[in-house]
Amino acid sequence: MTDQYLAHVANELEQIKSSGLWKAERQMLSPQSGKVQVEGNNSSAGVINLCANNYLGLANDPRLIAAVKQAMDSHGYGMASVRFICGTQDLHRKLEQSIAAYLGKDDSILFASCFDANGGLFEPLLSDQDAIVSDSLNHASIIDGIRLCKAKRYRYQNSDMTDLESQLKQARNDGARFIMIATDGVFSMDGYLANLPDITALAKKYEALVMVDDCHATGVIGKGGRGTASHFRVDDGVDVITGTLGKALGGAIGGFIAGAAPLIDLLRQRARPYLFSNALPPGVVAAGIEAIRLTESDNSMRQQLNDNTAFWRQGLSALGYELLQGEHPIIPVMLGDAKLAQSMSQHLFEQGVYASGFFYPVVPQGKARIRTQMSAAHSRQDLERALDAFEKAGKLSGALA
């Protein structure tokens, strides 16, 4: 490597730091849970974790751990193959069928992650004669997946249904053969749900397909945790659902696409991250099956999550914080100023609460916030302690009068 190239890289790093965009990683010393041990605050009481996507508290659930151990004994550790060569076990098909049955679709296909699922979805299904109409706040993986596809791209302002309709009209006027609308089910910076009733109605009017990325919704909202389409009772209007095993459904790794049988068959033939990347390990797959079973059959985790969400919203409001309204366990505490969000996050950590600040360019200028996320793994006592910390940190940082 030349000195010149190393100097170029060092300069890039310096620019990231000087613009305040450096992302540091804190090491946790315990399993993922409602309370964790973290370097820098290794108090025996633990640090209350408000920034994991561990909605149902399954990330450290003994039932999933038992399923992993059992599957490793019966099916081994790794697959050392892609699915179509020799990487498909009975377990893989069983998980794909249980995801499909859970979401009310014909079939599903597994990927190493939802990033890969979204990366592999569009290119095989649409060509240069077609159009994709995408929400401006969609996840990076949808944006990348669309870039890899030859379809013509249209973008509408976040959840702006008037703009969505103009983009659909434009795509029709431009002569699109097929149109697909792509949206996150939940916009993760705000905790807002996509307006699926209007999106599916517009899709019908303009004969478009609808793809929903339900990563923050599967297991969390809707009947039995079936996600945003179920929440809004528009299951039939949503053609393709993508999701992850890396959030509510155990938090390990793995992604999927669920939809009509021919569409899943075509993806199995053509989706590049599926064809050219290793199969998920049996332990993860078996725990995925168990996670779906628990999510579907045991409402107590979702009940606990919803109770925690209501208690937490009420408690933060009573302290005088401004929240974004909503029903999702993502609860952003609006602070406005980026420096304030950073200082608040630091004070919270010193008070035993782990929560991240988000600021421009991740969220709009002047809309800096601390994003908090509830989990069924939080006890009432944890949340009371966390509210105390929010009161103290708010006063120390100047966020509260």
Ligand X SMILES: *Cc1c(COP(=O)(O)O)cnc(C)c1O
Q: Which residues bind ligand X (CB under 6 A)?
A: 113-115, 118, 139, 141, 184, 188, 213, 215-216, 244, 246, 255
Which of residues 141 and 304 has its CB atom nearest to ligand X in the complex? Answer: 141
**Active-site residue 378, yes or no?**
no
**Active-site residue 188, yes or no?**
yes
- How far apart CA 353 and CA 341 sit, in angstroms, is 14
Specify the length of the chain in residues: 401
| Number of C-beta neighbours around residue 27 at 10 A | 8
Which of residues 126 and 215 has its CB atom nearest to ligand X in the complex? Answer: 215
Range list of H helices, 126-216: 140-147, 161-173, 196-205
What token pair was written down for 13?
């790093």
- How far apart CA 227 and CA 213 sit, in angstroms, is 10
**DSSP state letters, 239-306:** -EEEEESSSSS-SSS-EEEEE-HHHHHHHHHH-HHHHTSPPPPHHHHHHHHHHHHHHHH-THHHHHHH
Q: Give just the sign of the alpha carbon dihedral 243, 357, 366, 327.
A: positive
- Cβ of residue 273: shortest distance to ligand X, in angstroms? 10
- Cβ of residue 332: shortest distance to ligand X, in angstroms? 15
Question: Distance of CA 237 to CAs 70, 162, 231, 281, 311, Å?
Answer: 39, 19, 13, 33, 34
Question: Distance of CA 56 to CAs 152, 165, 249, 300, 391, Å?
Answer: 38, 36, 8, 9, 26
Angle at 238 between CA 232 and CA 240, to 5 degrees: 135
Among the listed residues 92, 139, 247, 328, the single catalytic one is 247
Which of residues 120 and 246 has its CB atom nearest to ligand X in the complex? Answer: 246
Which of residues 122 and 206 has its CB atom nearest to ligand X in the complex? Answer: 122
- Cβ of residue 286: shortest distance to ligand X, in angstroms? 18
- Cβ of residue 216: shortest distance to ligand X, in angstroms? 5
| Cα R_g (the chain), whole angstroms | 22
| Number of C-beta neighbours around residue 337 at 10 A | 15
- Cβ of residue 113: shortest distance to ligand X, in angstroms? 3
- How far apart CA 85 and CA 121 sit, in angstroms, is 21
Among the listed residues 35, 105, 139, 216, the single catalytic one is 216
- How far apart CA 350 and CA 31 sit, in angstroms, is 20
- Cβ of residue 115: shortest distance to ligand X, in angstroms? 3
| Number of C-beta neighbours around residue 277 at 10 A | 17
Taking Cα atoms as reference points, which of 382, 230, 219 lies closest to residue 293?
Answer: 219
- Cβ of residue 313: shortest distance to ligand X, in angstroms? 21
Strand partners, 244: 255
- Cβ of residue 387: shortest distance to ligand X, in angstroms? 27
Which of residues 164 and 215 has its CB atom nearest to ligand X in the complex? Answer: 215
Range list of H helices, 40-139: 62-75, 83-86, 90-103, 114-125
Which of residues 291 and 393 has its CB atom nearest to ligand X in the complex? Answer: 291
**DSSP state letters, 363-396:** S-TT-EEEEEE--TT--HHHHHHHHHHHHHHHHH
> Would you please indicate which residues are annotated as catalytic (active-site) residues?
188, 216, 247
